[in-house]
Amino acid sequence: MAKTKKKKPPKKPKWQFKNQWKAKYKTPEAMLKAVEKYFDDAEKITMCGLALALGFKNRSSLFDYKRKLEFEEIIAYACLRVEEAYEEILHDGKKCGGAIFALKNMGWTDSQSMELSGKDGGPLPPIEVTIIRGN
């Protein structure tokens, strides 16, 4: 009989987060200070980076925290700053596909419109339709 090897359980990471995931701010001012520190220190500004810097596990946790009315404006402000960073990338005009993708995930949309008009911008002429009946 062949011996089957038992799978070893995965090793636990050597690093530990010390209460980092308990993103609880006692005051809006404390959160605002953390938000400003993130924007001052970050090389690249992202929603995930903001969430992690504020001590959240994920972006959803950050958005859930927005339900606490006293923090609603601060989180909205922080999210707007992230949008602004992506919008600035659009103005650079180089490699902006990622920024477009991120902004679309933030509710932005693309749209194209086409306006049809007649000669010199006037109305289109009516279309004449003839119906021919067969036998």
Give 20's pLDDT tier (boundaries 50, 70, 90). Answer: very low
User: Does some domain include residue 32?
Assistant: yes
In a domain, 61, yes or no: yes
Averaged over 72-93, what is the pLDDT?
Answer: 90
Domain extent for 71:
28-105
10-14 mean pLDDT = 57
pTM equals 0.63
Does 88 fall in a domain? Answer: yes
Buried b (16+ CB within 10 A) or exposed e, 36-71: eebbeeeeebbbebbbbbbbbeebeebeebeeeeeb
The answer as to whether 69 is a domain residue is yes
Q: Dihedral through CA 50, CA 55, CA 61, CA 65, nearest 10?
A: -90
Which residue did the predictor score with more confidence, 6 or 102? 102
Counting the structural domains of the chain, the total is: 1
